[in-house]
Amino acid sequence: MGNILSVQNLSKSYQSAGRTLTVLHDINFSVEQGTMLSIVGPSGSGKTTLLGLCAGLDRSSNGSVELNNIRIDELNEDERASVRNLYTGFIFQNFQLLPTLTALENVMVPLELRGEKNIRPKALDLLDKVGLADRGHHYPAQLSGGEQQRVSLARAFSNDPKVLFADEPTGNLDAETSERVIRLIFDLNREMGTTLIMVTHDMELAARTQRIIRIRGGAIYSDEPVTQGV
């Protein structure tokens, strides 16, 4: 299948109160297309920063990130935004839906940004897949947390992403709702052949992916396949 993501010698430092704070140090790994990977580690270990660098949401201090054979660390902000819209989907812990748009309109946004035509039927179909066909006219404030996350899931898959980046996708949900959202993520991921890269502190959830990278103190200390997937 080939690698969809390749990270080499990746480091990220910030200037803070006159000091240099290194959040990630010399990270190396690659991800084969169509696989499901978890990144785990204690709070403050750098896992969300790593996800952001892999997705082109931020730039590294050193090293390279190749996403779908494109060196995104060499691109400017507009070029990185274009790559994200073409090849990636995102699910965040706090949903990040646009409050002034309905559920249906939120799902349509990535398609509109790409200039696609006749997008309403596709958005409706995705809402149907996540069990919200009858909630398309509701605004985020009218939806429960679980419903909002399912809308964000439909939005994440609307542009047929090569890679789905998920940052603590069940962090704000109760156990029953979490299970439903995770099932949807895995099912849509399989159906669409998407690569899943997920940050989570939930080891039970991580064990349902195919591979776990453990981070501590900004460095990888373990990168192992999971013996039993979903």
Which pLDDT belongs to residue 230? 47
Which pLDDT belongs to residue 198? 96
Is 55 a residue whose pLDDT tops 60? yes
| pLDDT-based confidence at residue 15 (cuts at 50, 70, 90) | confident
**Per CATH, domain 3-225 is 3.40.50.300:** yes
Q: Which long-range contacts (CB under 8 A, 24 or more apart) does 203-210 make?
A: 203/40, 205/38, 205/170, 206/38, 206/40, 208/182, 209/36, 209/37, 209/38, 210/35, 210/36, 210/37
Which pLDDT belongs to residue 9? 95
Is 18 a residue whose pLDDT tops 90? no
> What is the spatial distance between Cα 163 and Cα 214, in angstroms, rounded to a whole number?
20
Instruction: Please write the tens of the pLDDT for every residue from 124-163.
Output: 999 999 999 999 999 999 999 999 999 999 999 998 899 9
| pLDDT-based confidence at residue 1 (cuts at 50, 70, 90) | low
Q: Where are the domains of the chain?
A: 3-225
